[in-house]
Chain A
Amino acid sequence: MSTTGVSSWAVDLAGVGAIYPFQGMEWILLIIALAFWIWWHITTFRMELSRQNEKVKKYGDSKNIINAIEND
C-alpha cells in the first residue's frame, strides 16, 4: 500500500506507468488549481489598483511628481 501505487520495485519497469501520488484525484487538483489561478488574478489586480490610489493620495502632489521626474 502506498500513495503512488508502487509498494515495491521488484517489478518489470515495462509495465509501470504513472507513479505520482493520489492518482485518480487529477480533476479535484485541477479545480483547486483553476480556482487559485482566478483568485490570484482578481486579488492581485485589486491590490495593485488600491496601491496606486494610495500612492496618488500620499505622494501625488506636483512637488513630489516634479521631484521624481527631476531625479530620474
Chain B
Amino acid sequence: MGNNLDALTTIFTEFYYWLTVALMFLIHVGFCMYEVGASRRRNHMHTLLKNSMLIPLVTITFFFFGWWIYWALPNGPFITGGIEWEAANANAPVSDIMGTNLSDRITGVFWAAFLLFSWTAASIVSGSVIERINSGAFWILAVLIGSGAWIIDAAWGWHYAGWMVQILGYHDAYASGVIHAVAGGFALGVLVVLGPRLGKFSADGKPRDILPHNPWLVCVGLFLIYTGFWGFYVACNVPLISPEGIGGEITGETWTATTIYLTPTTLGAITFNFLMSLSGGMMMGYFASKGNAFWTYSGGLAGIITASAGNDLYHPIQAMIIGGVGTYFAYKLHYWVENKFKIDDAVGAVAVHGYAGFIGLVICGFVLWGHPSSPYEGYATINPLGNFIGAIIMFGVLGFLPGYIASKILHAFGLLRIPKEVELMGLDFGTAMEEEAAAREVREAEIAMANGK
C-alpha cells in the first residue's frame, strides 16, 4: 500500500470479499432451516447438527489442503502443464501469507470466500440425504466434496488459467457447474448407494410424499438462501482491476470489475440478471408445480443456478427465460428420476442444483458462442461443445463418481446408513427421552420444594 490510491484499492478489495463472506453465511443458515423444516420432528436436532458440523470440518480441511489444490492444479496436472508448485506453496497452510501478515491483506478474505462456496457444495448434499445417513459418514463425504471434488473442478474450470478454460473455452461465471452441478451430481452418487428413506416407496414402487414438518421454515430457509446468494454472486467477481493487473490483451487504462476468468463485467449486470433469473425461476416453479410453495421457492434458486454460467453477459430477459427453462426441466427431471430409479432426494437438491446447473452450462455454450473465454491470447472461445463436455465433467466425473465410489466404500464397511430401528424411532428419540426424564425430575423436585419438603 505505497500510496493512498493503492491503499484504497487494497482495503476496498479486502472489505469487498469480507462482506461477501458475511452474506454467504446466510446461505448456510438457510440450508439448515430448510433441512430441519423438511425433516420430521423426531430427527430435528440430528439433522441440524449433521449440517452444522460440516462448517468446522470443511473449514479446517480447506485450510489444510483445499486451498492448496486450487492453486496447484489448474493445468490438470499434465494437460496444459505440471503442478503449479510456486503458486500452490504460496497458498499452502504453512505459508506465511496464511496468517496475520501486513504485506498480504487479500489472501485471508479470498480464501474465506472460496471456503463459503465449499460449505455450500457440502450443504447441498446434506439436504438430500436427511433422516437415514450416519453423521460420521456424511462428514467424510462433506470433506470430500467441500475440500476435494469442487476445488479440483474450480482449479480446472473456474481459474483464469484453468485447462478447461484454455482448451474447451469453458465458461461458468457464477458457478452453475463448478458448485451446483458438481454438488448435485455428488448427491445423486450418494443417493444411489444410500437408498430411500423407509416408507418412501410403496411395495409396488409408487413414491409417497414425506411431508416437511414445517413448510413455513422450509420456505423461509430458501428465502435466506436467496439473500446469501447475493454474497455468492459478488464473491465470484474481482471487484476492481487494471488492464495492467490483468496482463492480457485488453488495451487502454480503464479499470473494471471482472469474472474469475478476468473477463470484464459489471456489478450492475449481475444484479439485473440475478433478479431476472430468480423471477423466471419462481414463475416457472409456481406454474410447473401448480402453486406448490416449496417448488416455487426452489424454482427461484433453480432459475438463478441455470442462468449463473452466463449471468456476467446475458441480457436480463435472456436470464429470465433461461432461468425459467432450467427450472421447468429440473422440476420434471426430479419426478422422472424419482419414479424411474426410485431415488429419494428429500429436498430436490439434485434437481435444483445438479440438473439446473447442467442445463445452464449447456445453454450458456450456445448463447455465448464465440465470446472470448479469457482476456489472454490462445484460449478457446466459449462454445456449445466445450460447455457440454464441461457439464459432463462437473456433474459426472467430479460429482457423481466420487460420491458414488466413496459411498460404496462406506457402505461396504457398514458405515453409511443408520440401523433400521433408529430410522423408525427417529434419530433424536433416545436423547428426547432422556431430556424429558431430566425435565420431569426437575419438575418433581420443584413441586416437592413448593410443598415444603
Contact = CB atoms under 8 A, between A and B. Distances in A.
Interface of A: 13-14, 16-20, 23, 26-27, 30, 33-34, 37, 41, 44-45, 48-49, 51-56, 58-60, 64-65, 68-69, 72
A27 B102 contact: no
Interface in B124-153: 134-137, 139-140
B103 A16 contact: yes
Contacts, number: 93
A56 B40 contact: no
Interface string B1-32: 11000000000000000000000000000000
Contact of B134 (A34, A45, A58, A64): A45
A65 B430 contact: no
A55 B429 contact: yes
B424 A41 contact: no
Given A37-B60, A55-B425, A19 B134 contact: no
Nearest to B418: A52
Say which size band chain B's interface belongs to. 35 or more
Contacts of B426: 68, 72
Interface stretch (B92-100, B231-239, B243-251, B257-265): B92-100
Contact of B430 (A37, A48, A55): A55
| Nearest 4 A/B pairs, CB to CB | A45-B136, A26-B94, A18-B96, A55-B430
A37 B2 contact: no
Contacts of A17: 96, 101-104
B389 interface: no
A41 B60 CA distance: 13
Contacts of B101: 17-20
Nearest to B135: A48
11 contacts: A20-B99, A26-B95, A30-B64, A33-B64, A34-B64, A45-B415, A56-B421, A59-B429, A59-B433, A69-B425, A72-B40
Given A16-B103, A45-B136, A65 B94 contact: no
A54 B430 contact: yes
A39 to B, nearest CB: 12
A62 B42 CA distance: 16
A47 to B, nearest CB: 9
A28 B415 CA distance: 32
B61 interface: yes
B346 to A, nearest CB: 15
Contact of B61 (A37, A51, A56, A68): A37
Contacts of B94: 26-27, 30
B422 to A, nearest CB: 5
B99 A65 contact: no
B129 to A, nearest CB: 15
B41 interface: yes
Interface in B334-379: none
Nearest to A16: B102
A45 B104 CA distance: 39
Interface string B409-453: 000000100110110111001100100000000000000000000
Contacts of A58: 430
Contact of B422 (A14, A45, A55, A72): A55
Given A20-B100, A72-B40, A49 B134 contact: yes
B96 A23 contact: yes
Contact of A18 (B40, B99, B421): B99
A49 B425 CA distance: 16
Contact of B42 (A51, A56, A72): A72
A26 B57 CA distance: 20
B424 A65 contact: yes
Nearest to A37: B60
A26 B101 CA distance: 14
B425 A60 contact: yes
B134 A68 contact: no
Contacts of B421: 55-56, 60, 65
Contact of A68 (B60, B102, B424): B424
Interface in B45-71: 57, 60-61, 64
B430 A44 contact: no
A19 B99 CA distance: 8
B425 A68 contact: yes
A1 B97 CA distance: 22
B41 A72 contact: yes
